[in-house]
Amino acid sequence: MENLHTNRGAMKMNQKLQALTEEQIAFFEREGYLIVKGLFSEEDLRTIDDTFEEISRYPVPGHFEPVLDGGDGDPLKRYPRVMHPHRFNETAKQYMLHKPVMEVLADLYGEEALAAQSMFYYKPPGSRGQALHQDNFYLKVEPGNCIAAWTAIDAADEENGGLLVVPKTSELEISCPELADSNESFTTHYVKPPKDQKAIPAVMDRGDVLFFNGNLIHGSYRNKTKDRFRRAFICHYANASATHIGTHYRPLFRADGAEVDLEPNPDGGPCGIEFEMAYPH
């Protein structure tokens, strides 16, 4: 977790209130992830519901490209993930910069956070999951690391395709991925956990936010239900002292919406390459 906490001591001297307790910060540093409740009101969540329900009805080239007639029966063809909705939708940008989330990130980084990416996953019943992977393989934040803020818009559990995390793997180096199982994962990369460490479910209620370090190995189950979506609003952030990030994530944004353009890191890419894009039929 290189350079994540260098500035925390200085920051504490300049702020009176923390969004997190010392115990929560210690848990994140030790385990690599943290679930925080109460950062989104029910009104916030209804606004997000309505926004992405509207987005789901029509293609947005380069960001959301559904097969509106359902395609070949793969539910992810009708409901693919929305990439970078903050670039075409002001509500998505507003919630990417949601003040309570930015305050938690400042505590975790020990400095200001910069918003780099937004995504929305619908994950309808029957959808494949996403094989275990590490986010900073794609974002390439240097020096420092990315942190994800993964907000459960629907309750997420083992049945409807909730997230899996491998605790304490945030201290590992970024691994070169293996090929995932296309029957279970819609993306191509798979990072195998160490032999003595296992993935555990991050069970979440609607509105909970899971924060995790960019080296943490994580992924998700298949949605095994017949009638439950597992929607999630997912954003990635960089520490303000970072100088480089993958080109795909530029420009970044400060909490006030001002653009920041870090130097491009040439070997980054989108968060997971879909099988259909990597191996077209």
pLDDT of res. 275? 64
Domain-by-domain residue ranges, the chain?
8-12+21-61+70-278
pLDDT tops 60 at residue 6: no
pLDDT digits (tens, 9 = 90+) for 92-132: 999 999 999 999 999 999 999 999 999 999 999 999 999 99
pTM of the model: 0.92
> Residue 8's pLDDT is what?
52
Q: Print burial letters for 4-25: b (CB count within 10 Å at least 16), e (below 16).
A: bbbbbeebeeeeeebbbeeebb
Annotate 219-250 with DSSP letters as a single string. EE-----SS----EEEEEEEETT--EEEGGGP
Question: Which DSSP symbol is given to 101?
Answer: H
Mean pLDDT of 165-170: 98
Does the pLDDT of residue 33 top 70, yes or no? yes
For the segment(s) 8-12+21-61+70-278, the CATH number from 3.30.360.10, 3.40.390.10, 3.30.56.10, 2.60.120.620 is 2.60.120.620
- What is the per-residue pLDDT for 14? 47
- Tens digit of pLDDT for each residue in 199-237? 999 999 999 999 999 999 999 999 999 999 999 999 999
Look at residue 130 in the predicted model and tell me its pLDDT: 97
Nearest by Cα to 76 from 235, 229, 278: 229
Determine the Cα–Cα distance for residues 133 and 216; give it in Å rounded to an integer: 8
